[in-house]
């Protein structure tokens, strides 16, 4: 039994909270609501889902996906989602789990049918085969999570999304299959173009700020020889920069690739001492206004790389 | 990687060595055997060179496998194009057996909090050096319906369950329920563990009106729900019922004398980088002044955050204020005390943050006594997993006693990467 003095406030607020559960906001009927952790996955989901889906991304394309803030406003998106598409491999470990736990949407909890981990469909690089420790920096023990930067992985993820959307909306199966087929064809055509552009520069040595580019580098034959960060997530020390500059001079490395969310002061300083160029390459759709879909992301990056390598001759 | 290579060497060379010790029935020439061994060494050297080549840049300390598919890849979604080139010839690597064995274990983390203090504080003295707290966290999804979070705190005064609760994530109608021991949803500071605070201590209002470091932390259950609101406003209501025992704040004389906590939180993104977070809180429970006497707490908090998305790891600003009104029934008269703190912090760059806080609070049992104080802080982050903080703290306690302290703190995180509180 609860004492009489305590009954009223308890019942009053409990009643308010419970009553609030029933007038749910009106939802646009018919469309599957997809929330993705990053813009790249949103772009892929939109490619397959077309006008049968409503897609929102939590992170912006110019934002470091490791350090998104778990804002309560994201809960408003998540609570209405039919499908949550994540990068996985612990990329979102610092912000997504509490949002998913608190959103009150059983459909998108880990393990539920509406939770889609894209990494299960992609080819993953840099999976450690020895025990990892934090002495190596903020390493991802299940492999490098920047895997969407290989168009072949984009295809694999798109195929997985098509399968998932078909399960969730069997009546639209033919529509999703048609869009997947179109996407596959357009990727194949675009890859020929990107390959032709990058062919003269295969094997070129580059330095990158963070370990964001192994899939892109592998796909287009770039040779990443070192990093501005001495370890993943650790800011560069003067000693590391001296070593990096020496190495770049010795190996004639003329291009430094930097993500748009890192400060350019240090890369510019290294570039000034080595005669290299700093290229702000986009890891995600939406990194710049004009990069509005998955194809434009690679168009943008490949064009930047070609220009940089041409200038470095 | 060294171990398998050494093992392979031993396995390959051992039979040759064993054969070398056996009598030679046909007197095989020493030279032929030597050539055979040299050939084996050449093969091994080639294997080692190939393995080194797959390591990537020289700066990379982690031996990594080439392109592989995760073992969980569903067969229904095969790779559109298989890997090409040399990598295609490699067998899939599915990680070590040890990691597979740990896969169902909870995420385990250990957070150490070392505190030091110099200076004088006769009212609330703290040790010069102490391993203030070591918090061990276990977190996992329990089943499709719930997850569990357990935090055990090892401190100077013993071991206690800081929090341990189930969260039901699959309830209908968007409800989220918790049951267990937890920090109550009263304001901001009460919900935060020590290592998530912006300071090395807790504000005076927490010490005076909210049961200090322990706060309102009790066994009970909680129900929360996101409430309908216009214009993209996030509104969440939380109702909690507790056993009613929280240090010197709540002291339930009987089973029926539970404590109650309610919280209403509103949040709005003002711009992409700036947001406003407002909260109203209420708590009521029996106190230790008499069997029928209660303490009611009313709280209001406001937080403004600024964090530019393109430079989120370099710059941010946070300003916060929390106001608490306490009504404590006592045999002679109800004591109505009020306290608050305001604080701000600014991240200068990736590693340095400066901050400050102003405190003022009456005392719960004698509202006529008021304590004041202020702090200045400097924090250094060697990495995301460690933090060094210094805090100058001045306090003028009721009765005119002053305290001047220089506190410093070392925080370190072992194990699982926890989520950042917001």
DSSP string, B296-330: EEEEEEEEEEE--GGGTTT-EEEEEEEEEEEEE--
Question: Read out DSSP for B339-362?
Answer: EEEEEEEEE-SSSEEEEEEEEEEE
Are residues A213 and A121 part of one domain?
no
Q: Tell me which chain B residues have a C-beta less than 8 angstroms from the C-beta of A104.
A: 169, 171, 173-176, 224-226
| Residue A113, in any domain of the structure | yes
**Do A248 and A183 have their domain in common?**
no
The answer to whether residues A153 and A214 belong to one domain is no
DSSP string, A278-289: EEE--SSTTSST
Give the integer Cα–Cα distance in Å for A2 and B257: 6
In a domain, A19, yes or no: no
Residues A226, A293 within the same domain: yes
Q: Do A22 and B226 touch (CB under 8 A)?
A: no
Cβ-defined contacts of B389-394 (< 8 Å, 24+): B389/B199, B389/B200, B391/B199, B391/B200, B391/B201, B393/B201
Check B95 against A137: CB less than 8 A apart. no
* Domains along the sequence of chain B with CATH: 1-14+37-65 (no CATH), 113-126+163-415 (2.40.160.10)
Q: Do B267 and A73 touch (CB under 8 A)?
A: yes
Q: Do residue A104 and residue B314 have CB atoms under 8 angstroms apart? A: no
Nearest CA in chain B to A122: B69
- Residue A166: the pLDDT is 97
Residues A257 and A293 in one domain: yes
**Least-confidence region, from A117-121, A303-307, B258-262, B398-402:** B398-402
Determine, yes or no, domain membership for A25.
Answer: no
Mean pLDDT of B271-280: 97
Which residue from B minimizes the CA distance to A98?
Answer: B419
The answer to whether B328 and B298 have CB atoms below 8 angstroms apart is: no
Distance from CA of B15 to the nearest CA of A (A): 28
Percent of chain B clearing pLDDT 90 (strictly above)? 71
Task: Work out the mean pLDDT of chain B and round it to a whole number.
Answer: 84
What lies within 8 Å, CB to CB, of A249 at 6+ separation is A274
Structural domain ending residue among the three candidates A139, A163, A191: A191
Mutation target vs A (from B54, B236, B260; most A CBs, 10 A cutoff): B260
What percent of chain A lies above the pLDDT cut of 90?
84
Q: And the tokens for B283?
A: 């708590």
Q: What integer pLDDT is reported at residue A27 of this predicted model?
A: 44
Q: Where are the beta strands (DSSP E) in B144-244?
A: 146-155, 158-168, 176-183, 217-227, 234-242
Q: DSSP secondary-structure letter at A118?
A: G
pLDDT tens for each residue of A187-196: 999 999 999 9
Give B56's pLDDT tier (boundaries 50, 70, 90).
very low
Are A36 and A184 in the same domain?
A: yes
Q: Considering CB atoms only, which of A97, A128, A235 is closest to B64?
A: A128
| A141 shares contact with chain B (CB less than 8 Å) | yes
CA A131 remoteness from chain centre: 25
Inform me whether the C-beta atom of residue A202 falls under 8 Å from chain B C-beta atoms. no
By DSSP bridging, strand A32-36 and strand A53-57 are parallel
Strand B217-227 and strand B234-242: the pairing is antiparallel
Q: Are B295 and B314 in contact (CB under 8 A)?
A: no
Residues in A closer than 8 angstroms to B175, CB to CB, are 18, 21, 104
Tell if the pTM clears 0.90, that is, is over it: no
Same domain, yes or no, for A228 and A165? no
- Please check whether residue A307 lies inside any domain of the structure: yes
Cα–Cα distance, A22 to A26 (Å, whole number): 11
Chain A neighbors of B285, CB-CB under 8 A: 6
**Claim to verify: residue A176 and residue A208 sit in the same structural domain:** no
Cβ neighbors of B402 (< 8 A, separation 6 or more) are B394, B395, B396
Q: For the range B384-393, what are the long-range contacts, defined as Cβ-Cβ under 8 Å and sequence gap of 24 or more?
A: B384/A138, B384/A233, B385/A134, B385/A138, B385/B412, B385/B413, B386/B410, B386/B411, B386/B412, B386/B413, B387/B411, B387/B412, B389/B199, B389/B200, B391/B199, B391/B200, B391/B201, B393/B201
Nearest CA to CA, how far is A313 from chain B (Å)? 23
Full residue range of the structural domain in which residue A281 is found: 200-311
A267 in the same domain as A180? no
Kindly report the nearest CA distance between residue B128 and chain A, in angstroms: 30
- Record the tokens describing residue B400, joined without a space: 């005119």
CB-nearest to A227 from B59, B419, B421 is B59
Longest dimension (CA), chain A: 84
Could you say which of A171, A191, A211 is where a domain stops?
A: A191
pLDDT (tens digit per residue) in A240-265: 999 999 999 999 999 999 999 999 99
Hey, are the CB atoms on B174 and A79 less than 8 Å from each other?
Answer: yes
Looking at the domain assignment, is residue A36 inside a domain?
yes
Count of beta carbons in the 10 Å neighbourhood of residue B40: 14
Does ipTM surpass 0.85 in this model?
Answer: yes
Report if residue A272 sits inside a domain.
yes
Same domain for A47 and A159, yes or no, is: yes
Give B383's contacts in chain A (Cβ within 8 Å). Answer: 134, 137-138, 233-234
Residues of A in contact with B52 (CB under 8 A): none
B-proximal residues of A, 71-130, CB under 8 Å:
71-73, 75-76, 79, 90, 93-98, 100-106, 109-112, 119-130
Beta carbons within 8 Å of B50's beta carbon, 6+ residues apart: none
Tell me the pLDDT tens digit for each residue of A224-245. 999 999 998 888 999 999 999 9
What's the CATH number where A124 sits?
Answer: 3.40.50.1980
At residue B202, the 3 state secondary structure works out as: coil
**How would you classify residue B164: left for phi > 0, otherwise alpha for psi between -120 and 50, otherwise beta?**
beta
Q: Are A185 and A210 found together in one domain?
A: no
The b/e string for A99-128 (b: 16+ C-beta within 10 A; e otherwise) is bbbbbbbbbbbbebebbbbbbbbbbbbbbb
Tens digit of each residue's pLDDT (9 = 90 or more) over A132-187:
888 888 888 899 999 999 999 999 999 999 999 999 999 999 999 999 999 999 99
Among A174, A191, A208, residue at a domain's last position:
A191
pLDDT, residue A288, reads: 96
Does some domain include residue A10?
A: no
Same domain, A221 and A156: no
pLDDT given for residue B341 in this prediction:
98
* Number of structural domains chain A divides into: 2
Query: Could you tell me the two tokens for B200?
Result: 């090395």
Tell me which residue of B413, B396, B313 sits closest to B122, measured CA to CA: B396
Report, as an integer, the average pLDDT of B243-263.
95
Kindly list the residues from chain B whose CB atom is less than 8 angstroms away from the CB atom of residue A70.
419-422
Q: Is the pLDDT of residue B394 over 80?
A: yes
């Amino acid at each position: 039994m609860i004492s009489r003095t305590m009954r009223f406030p308890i019942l009053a607020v409990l009643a308010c909270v419970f009553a609030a559960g029933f007038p749910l906001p009106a939802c646009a009927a018919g469309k599957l609501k997809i929330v993705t952790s990053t813009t790249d996955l949103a772009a892929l989901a939109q490619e397959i889902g077309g006008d049968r889906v409503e897609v929102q991304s939590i992170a912006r394309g110019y934002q470091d996906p490791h350090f998104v803030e778990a804002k309560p406003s994201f809960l408003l998106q998540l609570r209405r989602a039919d499908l949550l598409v994540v990068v996985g491999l612990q990329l979102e470990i610092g912000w997504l789990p509490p949002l998913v736990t608190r959103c009150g949407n059983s459909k998108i909890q880990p393990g539920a049918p509406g939770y889609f981990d894209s990494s299960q469909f992609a080819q993953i690089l840099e999976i450690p085969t020895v025990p990892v420790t934090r002495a190596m920096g903020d390493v991802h023990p299940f492999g490098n999570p920047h895997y969407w930067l290989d168009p072949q992985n984009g295809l694999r993820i798109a195929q997985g999304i098509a399968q998932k959307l078909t399960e969730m909306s069997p009546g639209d199966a033919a529509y999703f299959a048609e869009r997947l087929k179109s996407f596959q064809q357009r990727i194949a055509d675009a890859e020929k173009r990107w390959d032709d552009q990058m062919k003269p520069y295969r094997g070129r040595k580059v330095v990158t700020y963070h370990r964001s580019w192994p899939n892109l580098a592998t796909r287009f034959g770039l040779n990443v020889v070192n990093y501005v960060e001495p370890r993943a997530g650790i800011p560069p020390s003067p000693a590391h920069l001296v070593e990096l500059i020496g190495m770049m001079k010795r190996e004639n490395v003329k291009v430094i690739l930097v993500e748009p969310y890192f400060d350019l002061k240090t890369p510019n300083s290294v570039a000034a001492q080595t005669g290299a160029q700093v290229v702000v390459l986009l890891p995600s759709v939406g990194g710049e206004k004009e990069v509005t879909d998955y194809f434009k992301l690679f168009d943008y990056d490949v064009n930047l790389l070609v220009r940089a390598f041409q200038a470095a001759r | 990687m060294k171990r398998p290579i050494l093992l392979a060497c031993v396995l390959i060379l051992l039979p040759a060595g064993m054969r070398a010790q056996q009598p030679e029935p046909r007197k095989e020439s020493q030279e032929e055997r030597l050539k055979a061994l040299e050939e084996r060494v050449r093969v091994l050297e080639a294997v080692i060179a190939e393995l080194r080549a797959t390591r990537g840049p020289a700066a990379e300390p982690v031996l990594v496998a080439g392109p592989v598919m995760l073992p969980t890849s569903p067969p229904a979604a095969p790779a559109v194009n298989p890997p090409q080139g040399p990598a295609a010839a490699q067998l899939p690597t599915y990680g070590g057996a040890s990691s597979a064995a740990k896969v169902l274990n909870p995420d385990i983390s250990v957070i150490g909090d070392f505190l030091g203090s110099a200076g004088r504080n006769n009212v609330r003295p703290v040790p010069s050096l102490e391993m203030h707290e070591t918090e061990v966290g276990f977190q996992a999804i329990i089943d499709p319906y719930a997850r569990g979070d357990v935090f055990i705190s090892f401190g100077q005064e013993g071991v206690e369950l800081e929090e341990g609760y189930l969260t039901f994530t699959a309830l209908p109608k968007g409800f989220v329920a918790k049951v267990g021991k937890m920090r109550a949803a009263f304001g901001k500071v009460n919900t935060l563990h020590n290592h998530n605070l912006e300071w090395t201590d807790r504000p005076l209002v927490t010490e005076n009106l909210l049961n200090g470091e322990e706060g309102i932390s009790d066994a009970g259950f909680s129900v929360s729900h996101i409430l309908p609101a216009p214009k993209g406003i996030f509104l969440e209501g939380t109702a909690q019922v507790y056993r009613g025992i929280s240090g010197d704040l709540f002291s339930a004389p009987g089973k029926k004398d539970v404590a109650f906590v309610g919280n209403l939180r509103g949040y709005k993104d003002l711009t992409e980088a700036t947001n406003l977070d407002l909260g109203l809180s209420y708590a009521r429970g029996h106190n230790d002044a008499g069997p029928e006497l209660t303490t009611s707490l009313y709280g209001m908090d406001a937080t403004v955050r600024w964090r530019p998305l393109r430079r989120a790891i370099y710059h941010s600003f946070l300003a916060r204020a929390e106001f608490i009104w306490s009504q404590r029934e006592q045999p002679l008269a109800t004591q109505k005390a009020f306290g608050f703190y305001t604080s701000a912090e600014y991240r200068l760059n990736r590693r340095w943050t400066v901050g400050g806080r102003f405190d003022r609070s009456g005392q719960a049992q004698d509202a006529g006594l008021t304590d004041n104080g202020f702090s200045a802080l400097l924090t250094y982050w060697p990495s995301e997993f460690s933090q060094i903080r210094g805090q100058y703290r001045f306090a003028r306690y009721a009765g005119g006693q002053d305290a001047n302290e220089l506190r410093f703190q070392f925080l370190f995180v072992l194990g699982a990467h926890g989520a950042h509180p917001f």
